[in-house]
């Protein structure tokens, strides 16, 4: 599913840019926001795919698998039980990068751009203002940089975990 979401995000970004160029700011903002949501959904879907793969293979510790699957292991009346406990995407990414890409630099540009994109997504999901005051040029910049960061981090994880990069068709979706 994550591949389709990346493709959708890229398509919405292109549609937003076309609307911006046609001076239709309302339409452009609509599609920029859609691009953000699909890129964020792609990352979450990718993480869920990885978590499910490890759960089936049992190739990580039970605590790590529980963490990636938004659970925690606790003792209740002398028995080990799983409970739902949501974890932030960046925490899951940190865990996977720490395990599989041990030399990953969390001060890198890619990580900073991804965290800025996460902040943009969070501001759209949990708005603090009654209207969208962001200019379309700023949207274009932030969404383009963010989508590229999402793909870059996913590619880094893919190489670290699966020993293969993302498919070329996905890498080609990175905005320039």
What Å distances lie between residue 46 and 51, 52, 111, 138, CA to CA?
A: 9, 10, 17, 27
Query: Taking the model in full, what pTM does it have?
Result: 0.92
CA end-to-end distance (rounded Å), the chain? 24
The fraction of the chain above a pLDDT of 70, given in percent, is 100
What is the per-residue pLDDT for 112?
97
Decide which of 133 and 89 is more confident: 89
Tell me: the pLDDT tens digits for 100-154? Answer: 999 999 999 999 999 999 999 999 998 887 777 889 999 999 999 999 999 999 9
Contact (CB, 8 A) for 173 and 147: yes
Q: Round to whole Å and give the CA distance between 50 and 77.
A: 32
Range of lowest pLDDT (34-48, 69-83, 137-151, 153-167): 69-83
pLDDT band at 68 (very low <50, low <70, confident <90, very high): very high
What is the per-residue pLDDT for 129?
76
Judged by DSSP in three states, 73 sits in strand
Instruction: Please give the average per-residue pLDDT across 68-89, as a whole number.
Output: 87
What is the per-residue pLDDT for 19?
97
Decide which of 132 and 47 is more confident: 47
∠ CA 159-162-167, nearest 5°, is: 65
Contact (CB, 8 A) for 44 and 35: no
Instruction: Please give the average per-residue pLDDT across 85-97, as a whole number.
Output: 95
Distance of CA 46 to the CA centre of its chain: 8
């Amino acid at each position: 599913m994550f591949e389709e979401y990346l493709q959708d995000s890229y398509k919405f970004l292109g549609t937003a840019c076309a609307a911006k160029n046609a001076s239709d700011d309302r339409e452009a903002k609509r599609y920029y926001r859609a691009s953000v949501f699909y890129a964020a959904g792609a990352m979450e879907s990718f993480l869920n795919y990885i978590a499910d793969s490890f759960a089936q293979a049992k190739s990580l510790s039970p605590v790590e698998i529980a963490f990636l699957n938004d659970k925690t292991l606790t003792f209740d009346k002398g028995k080990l039980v799983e409970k739902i406990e949501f974890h932030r995407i960046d925490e899951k990414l940190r865990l996977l990068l720490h395990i599989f890409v041990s030399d990953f630099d969390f001060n890198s540009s890619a990580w900073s751009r991804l965290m800025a994109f996460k902040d943009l997504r969070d501001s759209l999901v949990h708005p603090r203002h009654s209207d969208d005051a962001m200019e379309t040029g700023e949207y274009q910049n932030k969404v383009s940089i963010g989508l590229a960061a999402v793909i870059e981090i996913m590619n880094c994880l893919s190489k670290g975990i699966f020993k293969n990069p993302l498919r070329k068709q996905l890498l080609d979706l990175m905005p320039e």
